Amino acid sequence: MTTHDAPKGALEVSYDPADDVEVIKGHPHGDLSRAPGDQPDLTQDGIGCHSGAELESAARMAGQSEMLDKFRADYPTGPHDQPQSMCPAFGSLRVGLRMRRVATVLSGSACCVYGLTFVSHFYGARRSVGYVPFNSETLVTGKLFEDIRESVHDLADPDRYDAVVVTNLCVPTASGVPLRLLPREINGVRIVGIDVPGFGIPTHAEAKDVLAGAMLNYARAEIAAGPVARPRGGAEDRPAVALLGEMFPADPMMIGAMLAPMGLAAGPVVPCREWRELYAALECGVVAAIHPFYTAAVREFQAAGRTVVGSAPVGHDGTAAWLAAIGDAYGVAADKVAAAQNAMLPAIRGALDAAPIEGTITLSGYEGSELLVARLLIESGADVPYVGTACAKSPWSAADADWLSARGVKVKYRASLEDDCAAMEAIRPDLAIGTTPVVQKAKARGIPALYFTNLISARPLMGPAGAGSLAEVINAAIGNRDRMSRMKAFFEGVGEGDTAGIWEGDPNLRPDFRAQHQKKIDKLARAAKAQEMI
């Protein structure tokens, strides 16, 4: 097929006319070279995701420093050395489970694998998750790696799978289990090994980037090696814009409608739903970083010579600026850009005016779209004095941060739970949008609250549909303030925290146990700080 014009030096995609083609052959993977005595001791009780400093130290002793330094550069940490949300591996697990013909294998502690498997099925996964168990012997002797290699050989059926994704969780990563030594392919099935430790990846959102970036890197190498398989839906005959970040299903279609007057099309959404879509995404001359935290994925697109555009077509101002930026990246004539803006902006303004939001709202979350939602709320009429996001500062969200700051909004990157709760308690908003503990704390104080992930981010945000999508649920929640006050008054005096519930006598609080536990926490914190100073 003929590729579209792209920035100079871009890696071009060449599709083979056949529906199925052979993938790159595997490279020599070498043998395990570390003696059992070189393994750090991670078999004692109590080692888990809460032991961040110990696990990171063990991982560096096991030769994982380069990987951890890369994680630190891609995903700089905030005030905490471990995630405050769910296990980061949940993000990469969801990406793999949503892809057709991709098998997923986890290597980690049994409790971690159970929790991840449970929550993945709770969120709608409909396929099994592979598990390679280990014990003290297999971990310290290197047998665990051999078990993993055997498992992927057993799974690598080209009639069923395009790829097998193997993920190391905290303990195997800290022990130095070398997934990089797995074969690149077995029987024509790609083998993708990644490490997603809780002590190296701050949020589950950024773990999506770990797998997306690894897959893009593999697909880019395949393109460089020769012809690749044609996407199932065929190739787009217009220059396309790849969309980076998981979105409500209607949003990519709306973006496609926005781009059409400029002669452009919406390309695949990354993370993709099928391996072949990776090739089509890499073919797109421009990439829209709708969610700004995909650092590894952006690196792969830039290595392929693609132009990356930040922000998103959200609200009136955001849509106007984003369409102009896309047009500039593709060299679209000014009149066509104006035509695209004129086709959408009046409808967006009408939707905003028809669904106003009145009230003060604090907003926080860990999905990466918090700044975009805040823009939409403000253009709908809401007062949003505080926005907290668990993701790090990024050049791809700079335009959103500037827009919000110009309107007096305090934007907090790598916001901690303490930051979000402090803002909510200080502002006492009409509505608090946040993570589960923020919502819980707000409701305990009689403040209406909504869970960001399920009730806000899982809605259309782009174009006219997005402009009117939030008002109904937001206004309904704000209208519940009187009911929340009545509920708070009704339950006044029943106790809270340790004294919540009905007691015949005073509960046995044992402050001595708490003091002893606090000493342990303080000791670990001092040891971690001393380690950083070495």
CA atoms within 13 A on the CB side of 343: 16
Cβ neighbours, 10 Å, residue 175? 27
Residue 80 has pLDDT above 80, yes or no: no
Q: Which pLDDT does position 52 carry in this prediction?
A: 58
Order the strands of the 265-270 sheet from edge to edge: 265-270, 240-244, 286-288, 307-309
Query: Contact 439/449 with Cβ under 8 angstroms?
Result: yes
* Spatial CA neighbour of 103 closest among 40, 153, 180, 155: 155
Residue of 376 and 36 predicted with greater confidence = 376
Tens of pLDDT along 204-219?
Answer: 899 999 999 999 999 9
Residue 533 has pLDDT above 80, yes or no: no
Order the strands of the 449-451 sheet from edge to edge: 410-413, 383-389, 360-365, 431-434, 449-451
Confidence bin at 427 (pLDDT 50/70/90): very high
Confidence bin at 2 (pLDDT 50/70/90): very low
pTM of the predicted model as reported, rounded to 2 decimal places: 0.83
Whole-number Å distance between alpha carbons of 28 and 458: 44
Confidence bin at 35 (pLDDT 50/70/90): very low
Tens of pLDDT along 472-489?
Answer: 899 999 988 778 777 777
Tens of pLDDT along 122-137?
Answer: 877 788 899 999 888 8
Residue 321 has pLDDT above 70, yes or no: yes
Please name the helix (run of DSSP H) or strand (run of DSSP E) that holds residue 341, with its range, or none.
helix 334-354
* Spatial CA neighbour of 219 closest among 302, 149, 160, 300: 300
Which of 73-87, 243-257, 303-317 is least confident? 73-87
Q: Which pLDDT does position 17 carry in this prediction?
A: 43
| Average model confidence (pLDDT) across the chain | 85
Who's near 427: CB < 8 A, 6+ residues apart?
A: 360, 362, 385, 386
Q: Which pLDDT does position 51 carry in this prediction?
A: 56
Q: Residue 249: is the preceding peptide bond cis (ω within 30°)?
A: no
Q: Both tokens of residue 244? A: 């980076």
Q: Which pLDDT does position 27 carry in this prediction?
A: 31
Q: Which pLDDT does position 515 carry in this prediction?
A: 87
Residue 349 has pLDDT above 90, yes or no: yes
Residue 48 has pLDDT above 60, yes or no: no
Which of 14-23, 401-410, 420-429 is least confident? 14-23
How buried is residue 189: exposed, middle or buried, by Cβ count under 10 Å (0-12/13-18/19+)?
A: buried
Q: Which domains does the chain have, with CATH numbers?
A: 51-201 (3.40.50.1980), 240-347 (3.40.50.1980), 352-491 (3.40.50.1980)
CA atoms within 13 A on the CB side of 210: 34
Whole-number Å distance between alpha carbons of 430 and 442: 10
Residue of 12 and 148 predicted with greater confidence = 148
Average pLDDT over residues 89-107: 93
Residue 46 has pLDDT above 60, yes or no: no
Residue 83 has pLDDT above 70, yes or no: no
Residue with tokens 């960001």: 452
Tens of pLDDT along 161-188?
Answer: 999 999 999 899 988 899 999 999 999 9
Residue 329 has pLDDT above 90, yes or no: yes
Q: Which pLDDT does position 92 carry in this prediction?
A: 93
Q: Which pLDDT does position 8 carry in this prediction?
A: 39
Tens of pLDDT along 266-307?
Answer: 999 999 999 999 999 999 999 999 999 999 999 999 999 999
